[in-house]
Amino acid sequence: MAPDRPPSVDRLARSLADTGLPHPLLVDAARLAIADGDPATAEARARDLAGSMGRHFLTDVVNATGVLLHTNLGRAPWGTAVDDTRYSTLEFDLSTGDRGSRQDRAPALLARACGAEAAIVVNNCASAVLLVLAALAEGRGAVVSRGELVEIGGGFRIPDVMTQSGAHLIEVGTTNRTRIGDFASAVAASGDDAALILNVHRSNYRIEGFTESVGVSELVGLGVPVVADIGSGLLDAACQWLADGPPPWLVGEPAARQTLEAGADLVTFSGDKLLGGPQAGIIAGRADLVAACAAHPLARALRPGSLVLHALQNLALAYLGRDGDAIPFWRMATLTVDHLRERATAIAPDLMVDTMAVPGGGTLPGVEIPSVGLRLDGDRTVGLRAGTPPVVARVAEQATLLDLRTVHPDDDAVLGSALDRLGAR
Ligand SMILES: *Cc1c(COP(=O)(O)O)cnc(C)c1O
């Protein structure tokens, strides 16, 4: 074949079969490579393209960023422990052989764990808020403090969610100060219009200085249901699943159980942020209100599948069994600095530095968790990402930091070989 004649797409695609990609994708790579320049180098370009296609797929990574809930890395790591050779009892009652409800297991266990009468699980906390507003306040008003009209990462804005739900916003107070009287007069002035009060946790920002806000316990008694969207925080402030109780950096975060005890009629929270589990949103509280949410047509559109419900069931059992060690997020969050130092010493003592890990997930702004890492001069993140499995690190002050708090101990060996590959130890 003359060197300037384009190779055949099919022949080129077949020559890349060793990459393991399906043939149609190799044909795409071959086509692009041939269309894109010198025929003599088409094969190398096609191999490059196939390589980057392969690396584009979802894959496991070692999270060495020190960000416990890294939204770009799927927030929390969670085991599925689901046997994919078998079916599941998703909507089947084993004792009667009749149809069951998918909302019977994980949601009931989570309700038990936070002291709620009932709960349902939806796709994420954004859907939980949407469903609550649609089911309880469609065509009516929802009262929210101006200091809580939040935007969560990814474009979740309370006023926009309100519009989508068919409820309208009744704003009260000011950005920095809202008093109980503001709520009381708004509810009274609305006549029958106010369907509920929505209290929103300021998970990702703080208001400091001349401030005043109203807690859930004050809001009850105004004659309308109080819904607390806590998003992140704790299932129970006592953290019975941790031998030493809540770590200091979490004290003061809202907790589902205590928010319900304070009188909230419903709480909504995130399965990945608050529980350290799979992406999910939980609506828990008064049985009649949960039932109204479950009966709304949107509930069908927002329901999770068996994979998520199964993982949440295992997670809820671990919480109820007070077994924090079974929950990767809590295992990592509570590792001692001494333990991390031992691991760093075993990997590369000369590179060991003190670091600060963070909770992440758009929660607890400004909160840092003492940690230990390995420090490399310069930005070495590209090389670290190129390994198998890829290692994701962070760069600070012209150095690359590998924080051990978010790395599973089994992956210390992966860090070791990555450092060898980069000639760094
Ligand atoms: C994060 C958060 C949400 C959205 O939760 P997702 O599970 O990410 O959809 C809603 N409300 C609050 C207060 C949050 O912190």
Domain ranges of the chain: 9-56, 62-76+330-421, 106-323
Helix (H) or strand (E) holding 391: strand 391-392
Residue 117 tokens, joined: 């009468």
* Residue 210 near residue 179, CB atoms below 8 Å: no
The verdict on the CB of residue 231 being under 6 Å from ligand 1 is: yes
* Global model pTM greater than 0.95: no
Please provide the average confidence, as pLDDT, over all residues in the chain. Answer: 94
CA distance 45 to 38: 10
State the CATH class of domain 106-323: alpha beta
What are the pLDDT digits (tens) for 212-231? 999 999 999 999 999 999 99
* Closest residue CA from atom 1 of ligand 1: 231
Distance CA 284, CA 143 (A): 20
Does 295 score more than 90 pLDDT?
yes
Ligand 1: which residue has its CA nearest to atom 11? 231
pLDDT tens for each residue of 55-77: 899 999 999 999 999 999 999 99
Q: What is the pLDDT of residues 352-393, one digit of tens each?
A: 999 999 999 888 888 999 999 999 999 999 999 999 999 999
Query: Which of the residue ranges 128-142, 146-160, 367-381 would you say has the lowest mean pLDDT?
Result: 146-160
**Which residue of 145, 151, 203, 267 sits with most ligand 1 atoms within 8 Å of its CB, as the best mutation to test the pocket?**
203
| Rounded Cα distance, 146 and 347, in Å | 50
Which of 406, 414, 328, 417 is CA-nearest to residue 373?
406
Q: Is 156 in the pocket of ligand 1 (CB under 6 A)?
A: yes
User: Is 314's C-beta closer than 6 angstroms to any atom of ligand 1?
Assistant: no
Spatial CB neighbours of 266, under 8 Å, sequence gap ≥ 6: 132, 225, 226, 227, 228, 283, 284, 285, 286, 289, 290
Range 62-76+330-421 has CATH code 1.10.357.10: no
Look at ligand 1, atom 12, and give the residue with the nearest C-alpha: 231
Query: Is residue 199 in contact with ligand 1, taking CB distance under 6 Å?
Result: no
Collapsing DSSP states into helix, strand and coil, what is residue 130?
A: helix
Identify the weakest region by mean pLDDT among 109-123, 195-209, 274-288. 195-209
The least confident of 147-156, 264-273, 401-410 is 147-156
pLDDT of residue 154: 78
- Ligand 1 site, residue 361, Cβ cutoff 6 A: no
Mean pLDDT of 328-348: 97
124 lines ligand 1 (CB under 6 A): yes
Average pLDDT over residues 162-168: 96
Q: Is the CB of 304 under 6 A from ligand 1?
A: no
Mean pLDDT of 277-288: 97
For residue 80, the model assigns a pLDDT of 61
Distance 72 CA to ligand 1 centre (A): 15
What's at 148, amino acid-wise? E
Is 273 a pocket residue for ligand 1 (Cβ < 6 Å)? yes
pLDDT surpasses 80 at 6: no
pLDDT of residue 366: 86
Distances 58 to 74, 120, 311 between C-alpha atoms, Å: 10, 29, 19
Q: Whose CA is nearest to atom 3 of ligand 1?
A: 231
pLDDT for 4 beyond 70 = no
Task: Give the β-pairing of 141-145 and 168-172.
Answer: parallel
